[in-house]
Chain A
């Protein structure tokens, strides 16, 4: 009985782990890494923009400081969005 259980488990593991190999070769999409980096940077930039806005609303940043920082962050965000567009078109 123990032997049967072990053989069943072994067969299940082998079948499960080898399934991708038996399915065959999948095409690898290029540029995935760079795009993922940019998308992560974009999300981080959006969070930064929101944080700066909240800092301004809660009085940690003056109007002048906020305008300067917000402008810079939005500029950086646009650069990231352009880079994403460029890679997506490739």
Chain B
């Protein structure tokens, strides 16, 4: 049994991490390279140890080794293999181990890539990364041990929560954790830069890609969670401003500000205080997000309940915040800007304004999310402010953000003239205005001014991005005579940071148009229908055709077939069902536990480019209660009699004696479930027609694509050519040595 090995690896990992912290700092202070190298090797060793530990846990899940407590409580022999692989991170213990493992992998990658660069900063960054690793490893080793075992393993595990049996849920946690752990890297290098005073461009150029990768993974994780919520949970929405949703959104917004803002430091040596503060805030918010999910400190559909991890996290967060503020204050002289803002009509000014808007959004989300704790601390009473409180702040801020996303790509650095403004802004502004006019004339949009504003601004952004791509390709074609598609491809490839970013902006516009439309123009009805009855939603006639029922060992489903038509023409047929999983609670009775356990919804969904038709059924099983109670009585009596008869027999003989009873039980359950079809009664349906939801997912895909383009490493030959060209020009052409006046 490998469980003791796994636990030992955790403790060994903790010791290696602790050694690495000391070795790195000592090596840096004493100028002893060999100790710094040894510290870096500690990170690699930790990655190796955690990989072995992870493999042990996955192997235990795959072979359904219920001697592992975590396997017994989160998996079963009937869990599909695909989900067995994901089951480790559905638990506190497994997800902590995943955190450390990912953290050690990314840390190994960045330290390997930078082993000949940032030599003064790297040891301190190593120490910080290993400090995080030590913290999470100690939590896993001593508070939530994934290798805890029992000497009396159950014959069957509890299984994975049925709500998590969804592909999005396989990928959502690793994406989020990758984002969180990747954020630790720029945080660590930021701390290292502050400690060493090396606050110029170098630490940023090293960590920029990791910040961008963190932003990308975190964004994908957030969207996957929203997608899961929309397609799996039976409420018809994709975002509920739940504390755990907000916990992932806050570091993402902060990182968005950081990856824009560092461009200004790279180009102009400005916003140094902003950049170190943003990177420290992003890392702290990532830890805060991890804390929120695990501590149970805020009531949420997603929190880890009242766990014992709250106190260690609060201590870590306190250390991080105090150290961050202290370091920034200590180095405030070295963080002075090398240049000043030339003009409010410049890309620098737009980025600065964008920073403020994003930070304002983070502050609003933080305040409202934590308000129960804030109010309790101030007044002694816990007060909650619900999701509607976000709207008055987030909507106007989002509108400003989208406007800036359109202005940013088409405004130049340093200063623009009125003529250039006219040339760059005319078409996108016209596109936005035209959209607003058309929508106003078409009717309906005027009643939702914020949505209308978002549509207009979104069009403005899309037009500005298309204009930039067009002009970039045209500029290249003027030099190379390439075909338009090839010119476009090559100009994007050569300037992938810029155009990748523009594509991200376009994706954001598409996504927010989808959000505005779906939240402002949704039609929703709660109806009670008998088979044959219909209801109207947004011009669609939805008829309840017939009930459906299915019973297997894993689940009993009660559902419906519904026909959707419009204007007399059949549009689609949808199926929806509510599934009930057997409960392990014996007090519910041998029959009742199959009808009273966990439930999930199979959403009936027809997704389209312009509209989604979404429905769920919520069948009331009260009419079956009589039969269920009768079944409980009959089978409880039979079970008692049988067990009394075979009490002294072996386990195998008992199971053989009970087998016919279980067959009869399964038959009874199937017949009871069939009553739902043979004697149908009115069923409650939630029917929703929602416009442009698909745009949200499309926008997210575009954002991810743009992010990947921006992240892609430039081919080495391209860099050599650029350097050679620049050297030749710099020596050949007359240049003015004077700097531009500030």
Contact = CB atoms under 8 A, between A and B. Distances in A.
A74 B728 CA distance: 12
B434 to A, nearest CB: 22
Interface in B382-424: 410-417, 419-420, 423-424
Interface stretch (B521-529, B534-542, B731-739): B731-739
Contacts of B120: 32-33
Given A26-B34, A44-B266, A60 B420 contact: yes
Chain B: interface size category: 35 or more
Interface residues of A, number: 53
B413 A20 contact: no
Interface string A48-90: 1111101101111110010011011011111101000000000
Contact of A26 (B2, B33, B410, B423): B33
Main secondary structure of the interface of A (DSSP, over half): helix
Given A20-B41, A62-B417, A51 B498 contact: yes
A61 B730 contact: no
A37 B206 CA distance: 11
Given A6-B8, A61-B420, A79 B200 contact: no
Nearest to B33: A26
Interface string A1-39: 010011001100100111111011110100011001101
Contacts of B471: 57-59
Contacts of B31: 28
A37 B201 contact: yes
B325 interface: no
Given A36-B117, A40-B202, A46-B726, A16 B41 contact: yes
B49 interface: yes
A10 to B, nearest CB: 6
Nearest to B119: A32
B412 A50 contact: no
A6 B56 CA distance: 13
A12 B415 CA distance: 59
A10 B427 CA distance: 66
B91 interface: no
Given A28-B33, A54-B498, A72 B740 contact: yes
A54 B495 contact: yes
Contact of B420 (A10, A16, A24, A65): A65
Contacts of B601: none
Contacts of A13: 12, 16, 45, 48-49
A40 B424 contact: no
A14 to B, nearest CB: 9
B267 A18 contact: no
B38 interface: yes
Given A20-B34, A25-B34, A75 B737 contact: yes
Contacts of B45: 13, 16-17
Main secondary structure of the interface of B (DSSP, over half): helix
Interface in B20-78: 20, 31-35, 37-38, 41-42, 44-45, 48-49, 52
Contacts of A59: 420, 423-424, 471
Contact of B737 (A25, A28, A36, A79): A79
B570 interface: no
B726 A9 contact: no
Given A36-B119, A40-B201, A62-B419, A54 B33 contact: no
A16 B412 CA distance: 51
Nearest to B201: A40
A17 B416 contact: no
Given A32-B119, A33-B119, A75 B733 contact: no
B246 to A, nearest CB: 35
Contact of B198 (A37, A41, A55): A37
Nearest to B731: A78
B412 A43 contact: no
Contact of B200 (A18, A40, A74): A40
B645 interface: no
A71 B557 CA distance: 73
A81 B410 CA distance: 31
B664 interface: no
Contacts of A55: 412-413
B356 interface: no
Contacts of A46: 722-723, 726
B730 A81 contact: yes
Contacts of B110: none
B4 interface: yes
A72 B413 CA distance: 13
Contact of B413 (A25, A41, A52, A75): A52
Nearest to B44: A16
19 contacts: A2-B1, A9-B9, A17-B19, A19-B38, A19-B41, A20-B41, A21-B35, A28-B31, A33-B120, A37-B201, A37-B202, A43-B205, A44-B201, A47-B497, A55-B412, A57-B478, A60-B420, A71-B736, A75-B735
Given A33-B198, A46-B722, A55-B413, 8 more contacts: A2-B1, A2-B8, A20-B41, A32-B120, A51-B495, A55-B412, A65-B412, A69-B414
Interface of A: 2, 5-6, 9-10, 13, 16-21, 23-26, 28, 32-33, 36-37, 39-41, 43-44, 46-52, 54-55, 57-62, 65, 68-69, 71-72, 74-79, 81
> What 6 A-B pairs are tightest by C-beta distance, nearest first?
A57-B475, A20-B37, A58-B471, A40-B202, A60-B412, A74-B735
